[in-house]
Structure 1
Amino acid sequence: MQEKKQPYGTVLIKADSILKYLSSTDKPQSLQQIAKETELTSSTALKILDTLQLIGYVQKDEETKKFRLGRSIIKYANKALNQTEIKDLAQPFLEKLREQTTETVHMGILDQSSIIYITKLESFNPVSLYSRVGKAIPLYCSAMGKSILADQTDEQIEVYLNNHTLVKKTENTITTKEGFMKEIHEIRKNGYAFDNEEHEADIFCVGASITVNGKNYGAFSVSVPKYRITDEFITQIIENVLACKRGIESELG
């Protein structure tokens, strides 16, 4: 009978059991309760908690002496969701969007003052776009970027505008604060954003953000060569984009 291989670093498994327990409850927990639920001795649980607290995975209330998840692990969890899980979760909805429109579909995540492409589904039609996974584009002149900014407060957008020059990428790029805020109000009203040749000449995009309970998970868009655009086609794309947005956000809860 083959001997079962023991994992290296069993303390990590014990730490994981503590983190799992803390993530399963909304309230801070005492050392005694944590030790009981994880089947650890109080002394072992305390040593692990002290280390987790040191690296920011756990926070301790000095008055109540109770523990809860720390900001560091929450930051990493959110980053992982943005980069990996949201991509996998959204994939079937994005594929359906491409089938409906037959055009190029992008998905991106917010990275400071840019959108980073994390997915690109190529158009079924002849088209040449300079976009690629990993490329960063500005927020102010892209459908995805503007839709994410529209989910922020006026004060947050004001900070963004004060710290970023609206460089004229094409003849259609919005370069004034007044014009940009007018655009933001339209996006909030409609639930989607346009990039009318604002980032790249001859390319029209319809995009929407993915925001649930005040947290943004990124955005997606449909990109179409301007010569294929008609009023009827724009209406169809808008309907498809809004349906895709509802589907993804519903999956996120």
Structure 2
Amino acid sequence: MSPKFLRSELSRLPYPPAESDDPLFIQSIGRAMQVLSVFHQTDRPLSLQEISTLSGLGRSAVQRIIFTLRTMGYITRDPDDRGYVPGLRILDHSLDFQRLNPIVVTANPVLLELRRTIRERVDLSLFDDLRLVYASRLQSKREILSSTMIGHSVPTFCTSGGWAILAHLDDAEVDDILIRSTLTAVTPKTITNLDALKAKITETRANGFALALEQILAGEITIGAAILDSQRRPVAAIHVAGSLAEWTAKDFSRKFAPLIVQAAQTISRG
């Protein structure tokens, strides 16, 4: 996935609210999170003025917030002093999420065993409305930069994991997500037509897994299966990726789909 497309998708993410009428809401914390969130949509250090513009907060308030966050290690200056970037302390919270999220904790041993068995890339992504966020990525012999990054996100509408999740929602929920999606093509093969997408979701419901060809990366084939919570609602997905240079869709599905579905069911029960 191109950096340009990734920035475009990240720029659409909802920022945490900086203001609320709820008496329990601490506005100063909301504004601090608003400042941290502006880095979602950039691939370079940001100046004080740029952070102010992107966050929608006044320059004076942003200056105080940055000073506080920098003192605590959550924001730092770029090594070349070109602007501000997230600080090392952010990674402490990423680790906490990995250690304490029940889906990730339950899934990790299952994913490791699946990776040993199939020897292709195995991913775990968490459902976040219009996007899936990667929480675990176990590599194959084919490595690319975007496939190594935990926290990287992809659109729900054009991924095997997204289709698998949508297949477990009712038609009204599916329509709502598809209508609110930008439906921007990532590759020449990305499906963006609403009727065609609904047909893929219907196919996924019938098969029990989703098969996607070159939706995010050219030459890639993926199979996705949904992970369900105790209410039988989709909350995450396993997807396995291979190369069309090595696999036909028929052979890839026949060999791996049962294993992926079983792994997803094991995690769901957990």
Same fold (TM over 0.5): yes
**8 A contact 2:99–2:105 mirrored in 1:** no
Q: Distance in 2 between matches of 1:128 and 1:148?
A: 25
Task: List runs of 5+ in structure 1 lacking aligned partners.
Answer: 1-53, 57-79
- TM-score, normalised to structure 1, is 0.63
User: In the alignment, which of 244, 256, 260 is matched to residue 226 of structure 1?
Assistant: 244
State the 1:234 CA deviation. Answer: 2.7
Q: Matches of 1:156 and 1:193 in 2, distance apart?
A: 18
| Corresponding residue pairs, total | 174
Instruction: State the structure with more CA Rg.
Output: 1
Q: Given the two structures, how large is their TM-score scaled by the length of structure 2?
A: 0.60
Report if the CA contact (8 A) 1:83-1:109 is conserved: no
Whole-Å separation in 2 of the counterparts to 1:55 and 1:215: 29
Q: Tell me the equivalent position of 1:155.
A: 172
Say what the alpha-carbon RMSD is for the aligned residues: 2.2
**5+ unaligned residues in a row in structure 2: which ranges?**
1-22, 26-96
Structure 1 residues 165 and 217: CA distance shift in structure 2, 3 A: closer
Shift of 1:214: 2.7
Report SS of the residue matched to 1:140: helix
In 2: Cα distance, 1:153 partner to 1:83 partner: 30
Q: Shift in Å at residue 126 of structure 1?
A: 3.9
Structural mapping, 1:38-49, within 5 Å:
none
What is the 5 A alignment of 1:203-214? 203-212=220-229, 213-214=231-232
For residues 85-164 of structure 1, the aligned pairs below 5 Å read 85-123=102-140, 125-128=141-144, 130-131=146-147, 132-164=149-181
The 1:82/1:211 distance shift into structure 2, 3 A limit, reads farther
CA distance in 2: counterparts of 1:218 and 1:82, whole angstroms: 17
| Whole-Å separation in 1 of the counterparts to 2:181 and 2:142 | 35
Q: In the TM superposition, what is the alpha-carbon distance from 1:95 to its structure 2 partner?
A: 1.0
Decide which moves more: 160-169 or 196-205. Answer: 160-169
C-alpha contact (below 8 Å) 2:129/2:177 kept by paired residues: no
Does 1:190 pair with 2:207?
Answer: yes
Taking a change above 3 Å as real, the CA distance of residues 244 and 173 of structure 1, as seen in their structure-2 partners, is same
